[in-house]
């Protein structure tokens, strides 16, 4: 198995990169002499080849994962590792693309200022200036009709918005890849069989979740610029031409778009992706109308293809619920006629967990240590010393009170008539069913004020230390973090948040279930 994995990975890592005979062509004539630019192009090609090769390996491993149940753990671990490398490469490739675009734009601006004609290849069509009237282009805003109808300043904004479309598309793809990676980590976490592995996977999940949120935020910001400026300028064009019919249709479509977005708000992992899906459809429909009104048939045909692809876009990314796991030793009672405990195997001290929930049967409280014969036929049994020097004895370990109930009745029939429910919930102890009900009737929350948005660092601190909590905005600069079962846990997070950002005001509150 290990040999197969090693061969596959080595094959991917040593796939050929761009050779001297495969030098990428400069996307803008005149930049061939720029060594940094050409080096970046080569790196971009090489990185894409490596990503493609690694993806082939991952696809093959996924097939083996399905067909080979005996080695799934090894395959899943290797898939996670390689996908992490692909993810890192994708981020590096995005940075390369930004640098390449910056060099191209700077070169264009410098040469335009000097009156030099700029010749570009089709791969950089987004930076081509409008051509002579009568020449039509598939890319709508490249057509001379726009430069004739708009001021030079407005046209420059339109072209900038068009250029950012490619950045938005990359962010959408990056989010999908990040989400898929996150889902796989979540599934691995659910299947982890020990605390060390689970903690490592939880850390990885939180890191990638933060990255997914960053991508989502970048998408929202970048797309907002595109959407706002394109729709404003198209409205301006139709208003200038007195096309009230087109403006009315646009207003109707805008209302429908907003209604669809409102219906889906908060339902999925990324509102930004949902917003983009509906807003992009609206923009493309508007652009088709603009192209038809301007007689730009080539652009209209191209946009019809884009519209079809948008309809098939993946935008419903389900929320990935992540419940922290605590590796508690749950063990329902075993009943027999044998003596389980003796001088060589005495009743052990009860394990108290600081996190998680565990329910036990409290057999009773005694002023002195009880003989092991008292617990004939019961396993497991454990004890704790009380603050006044007494002895409490417990039996079993359960995930819920409901799971415990049947054994509790059996224990009472065996003579432990005062047996009751005992529970530890995130370090809080309930010594009876009444105390448990009181404990369960409370929850705690944190209120954070003083910022219009919580910083990524604050969100990371909350996510790492309270993965089961939920952050909600209840005002312009007020956030509430719900989901704490003890004041101690809420206080700890509150102190951590203040340590990260002392400008925030953080308070801990208590209320009953349903009051959130």
User: What is the per-residue pLDDT across 142-178, written as a single tens digit (0 to 9) for each?
Assistant: 999 998 899 999 999 999 999 999 889 989 998 999 8
Would you say residue 121 has pLDDT above 50? no
Would you say residue 113 has pLDDT above 90? no
Measure the N-to-C terminal CA separation of the chain; round to a whole number of Å.
51
Among 104-118, 369-383, 496-510, whose mean pLDDT is lowest? 104-118
For residue 412, the model assigns a pLDDT of 93
For residue 66, the model assigns a pLDDT of 57
> What value does the mean pLDDT of the chain take?
82
Confidence of residue 126 (pLDDT cuts 50, 70, 90): very low
Q: What percent of the chain has pLDDT over 70?
A: 84
User: What is the per-residue pLDDT across 454-489, written as a single tens digit (0 to 9) for each?
Assistant: 887 788 778 767 777 788 888 878 889 887 777 777
Residues 6+ apart with CB under 8 A from 33: none
For residue 454, the model assigns a pLDDT of 85
For residues 419-425, give the mean pLDDT: 93
Residue 361 CA, distance from chain mean position: 40
Among 130-139, 175-184, 373-382, whose mean pLDDT is lowest? 130-139
For residues 50-65, give the mean pLDDT: 75
Q: At what angle do helices 2-13 and 72-113 cross, to 10 degrees?
A: 10
Determine contact, residues 261/278, Cβ cutoff 8 Å. yes
For residues 81-99, give the mean pLDDT: 76
Q: Which residues of 186-217 are buried (b: 16+ CB within 10 A; e: fewer)?
A: bebbeebeeeebbeebbebbbbbbbbbbebbe
Distance of alpha carbon 125 from alpha carbon 510, whole angstroms: 59
Among 134-148, 399-413, 480-494, whose mean pLDDT is lowest? 480-494
Would you say residue 4 has pLDDT above 80? no
Confidence of residue 297 (pLDDT cuts 50, 70, 90): very high
C-beta atoms surrounding 150 within 10 Å? 18
Q: Between 341 and 466, whose confidence is greater?
A: 341
H-helix segments, 414-472:
433-440, 456-465
For residue 234, the model assigns a pLDDT of 93
Confidence of residue 35 (pLDDT cuts 50, 70, 90): confident
User: What is the per-residue pLDDT across 14-34, written as a single tens digit (0 to 9) for each?
Assistant: 344 444 345 677 666 677 788
The SS3 call for residue 293 is helix
Distance of alpha carbon 48 from alpha carbon 493, whole angstroms: 42
For residues 100-128, give the mean pLDDT: 54
Closest CA to 439 of 341, 391, 510: 510
Q: At what angle do helices 35-67 and 72-113 cross, to 10 degrees?
A: 160
- The structure's pTM equals 0.57
180 vs 161, 184, 250, CA distance in Å?
29, 6, 35
């Amino acid at each position: 198995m290990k040999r197969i994995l090693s061969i596959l990975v080595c094959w991917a890592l040593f796939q050929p990169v761009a050779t001297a005979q495969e030098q990428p062509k400069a996307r803008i004539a005149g930049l061939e002499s720029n060594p940094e630019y050409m080096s970046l192009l080569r790196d971009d090609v090489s990185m894409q080849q490596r990503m493609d090769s690694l993806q082939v390996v991952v696809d093959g491993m996924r097939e083996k994962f399905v067909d080979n149940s005996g080695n799934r753990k090894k395959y899943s671990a290797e898939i996670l590792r390689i996908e992490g490398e692909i993810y890192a490469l994708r981020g590096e490739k995005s940075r390369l693309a930004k640098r390449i675009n910056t060099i191209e734009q700077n070169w264009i601006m410098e040469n335009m200022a000097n009156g030099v004609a700029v010749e570009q290849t089709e791969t950089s069509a987004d930076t081509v200036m409008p051509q002579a009237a009568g020449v039509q282009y598939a890319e709508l805003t490249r057509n001379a009709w726009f430069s004739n109808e708009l001021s030079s300043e407005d046209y420059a904004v339109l072209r900038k918005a068009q250029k950012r479309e490619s950045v938005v598309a990359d962010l959408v793809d990056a989010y999908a890849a990040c989400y898929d990676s996150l889902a796989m980590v979540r599934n691995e976490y659910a299947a982890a069989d020990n605390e060390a592995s689970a903690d490592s996977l939880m850390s990885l999940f939180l890191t990638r979740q933060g990255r997914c949120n960053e991508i989502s935020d970048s998408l929202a910001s970048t797309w907002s610029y595109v959407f706002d400026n394109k729709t404003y300028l198209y409205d301006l064009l139709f208003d200038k031409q007195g096309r009230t019919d087109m403006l009315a249709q646009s207003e109707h479509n805008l209302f429908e778009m907003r209604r669809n977005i409102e219906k889906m708000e908060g339902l999925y992992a990324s509102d930004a992706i949902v917003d983009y899906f509906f807003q992009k459809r609206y923009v493309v429909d508007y652009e088709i109308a603009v192209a038809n009104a301007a007689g730009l048939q080539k652009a209209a045909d191209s946009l019809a293809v884009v519209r079809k692809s948008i309809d098939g876009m993946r935008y419903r990314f389900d929320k990935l619920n992540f419940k922290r796991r605590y590796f508690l030793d749950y063990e329902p009672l075993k009943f027999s006629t044998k003596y389980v405990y003796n001088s060589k195997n005495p009743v052990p001290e009860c394990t108290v967990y600081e996190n998680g929930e565990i329910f036990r049967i409290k057999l009773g409280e005694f002023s002195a240590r009880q003989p092991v014969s008292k617990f004939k036929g019961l396993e497991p049994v454990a004890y704790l010393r009380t603050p006044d020097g007494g002895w409490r004895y417990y039996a079993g370990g359960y995930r819920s009170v409901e799971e415990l109930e049947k054994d509790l009745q059996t224990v009472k029939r065996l003579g432990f008539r005062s047996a009751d429910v005992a529970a530890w919930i995130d370090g809080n102890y309930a010594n009876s069913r009444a105390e448990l009900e009181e404990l369960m009737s409370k929850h705690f929350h944190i209120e954070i004020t003083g910022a219009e948005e919580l910083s990524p660092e604050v969100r990371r601190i909350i996510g790492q230390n309270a993965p089961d909590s939920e952050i909600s905005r209840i005002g312009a600069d007020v956030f509430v973090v719900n989901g704490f079962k003890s004041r101690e846990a809420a206080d700890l997070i509150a102190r951590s948040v203040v340590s990260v950002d002392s400008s925030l005001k953080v308070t801990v509150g208590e209320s009953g279930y349903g009051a959130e």
